[in-house]
Structure formats: C-alpha cells, structure tokens
Amino acid sequence: MKIILRVCAIASVLVLGACDTGPKGSVGFSLPDGDVEQGKANYIALGCNSCHVNDQVPQLDSAEPAVISVTLGGETTHIKTYGELVTSVINPSHRVSRRQSLDVATKSGDSRMTNLNDVMTVTQLIDLVAFVQSSYTLSPFSSSKYPVYWIPESAKASKE
C-alpha cells in the first residue's frame, strides 16, 4: 500500500510538472508584444552576440577566439515559446542543469551564460524575446504516412 501511495505521489508531481499548473508553473504567463527591431538593437548592445551566432546580427569582434558559440534562430521543428525564451534569458541554468555539457555549463551544472537580470530592463527583455523568436523559422515537419483506418459503419452512423 505504501509503495502504491508513493508511486501516486511521484506520478502526480510528474503530471503537475508536465502541465505547469503548480504554483511555479507558467499558466497565466503572457508577455506584451515586443518590438523586434529594438530587440535586435538590445541584443547587440547587451553583447548577446559575443556567445551567440545569429545570421541577422554580426558576431562581436573580440581579441579572444570565441569559446562559447551557441546558435540562436534558424530552422526548428518546434518554435520556441516566449516562456522558454524568457526562462533561457533570466534563468539559464534551468535547462542546462540536466545537460551537463562542459561547453555550455560548469561542472556544477550552472549555465555559462552571463546573468543580465540586474542589468536589463523588463522592456529590453520583452523586445529581446520578440527578436530572438522572430529569427526562428518553422521547418516543415514530414510526418509518417499511416494507412487510413477502417471506420465501422456503426461508428460512422453515430457521428452523423
């Protein structure tokens, strides 16, 4: 019985996490429309291009060869949501903690991305997110072809 209760508790935590309905979830999250052009200017002003490659922005010239080079934008099969992008900018270690790649994270699982939370304004963040999102294009997803299933006459009749 104890084991069943434990399994239920873990399952409900996983389900809640997946649905983002907990107190720290993203339900109700919504950003006002940002200005893409201003976001691009902020991206350069804040030096995002010292670590990120984006084909709409020139790389930041630095004396040191780039150690970190993470591409932002381009083709994707899943457009990044505002929630994902805001999280990436203001809480970068949220995702890397599980990746543990030393190119992007330290041994302790912290992102190597600069924390700009005390530097940028909320308006800058909103415009940045609008710009970064606009640089992704959704690539056509080729789905597998499945045969059409036979629908029994009785089911068809009940639908009509």
The H-or-E segment that residue 136 falls in is strand 136-138
Min dist CB 14 to ligand HEC, Å, is 22
State phi, psi for 108 to the nearest 5 degrees.
-85, 0
Nearer to ligand HEC (CB atom), residue 26 or residue 114:
114
Nearer to ligand HEC (CB atom), residue 12 or residue 76:
76
Nearer to ligand HEC (CB atom), residue 26 or residue 50:
50
Nearer to ligand HEC (CB atom), residue 25 or residue 86:
86
Min dist CB 131 to ligand HEC, Å, is 8
Q: Is the dihedral of CA 101, 20, 82, 89 positive or negative?
A: negative
Residues that bind ligand HEC (CB under 6 A): 43, 46-48, 50-52, 68, 70, 72, 85, 88-89, 92, 95-96, 104, 111-114, 116, 128, 132
Measured between alpha carbons, how far is 72 from 61 in angstroms, rounded to an integer?
18
Rg (CA), the chain: 22
Longest dimension (CA), the chain: 74
Q: Structure tokens of 159?
A: 């639908």
Nearer to ligand HEC (CB atom), residue 12 or residue 97:
97
Are the C-beta atoms of residues 74 and 56 closer than 8 Å to each other?
A: no
Min dist CB 35 to ligand HEC, Å, is 14
Min dist CB 8 to ligand HEC, Å, is 33
Min dist CB 123 to ligand HEC, Å, is 13
Name residue 70's beta-bridge partners. 52
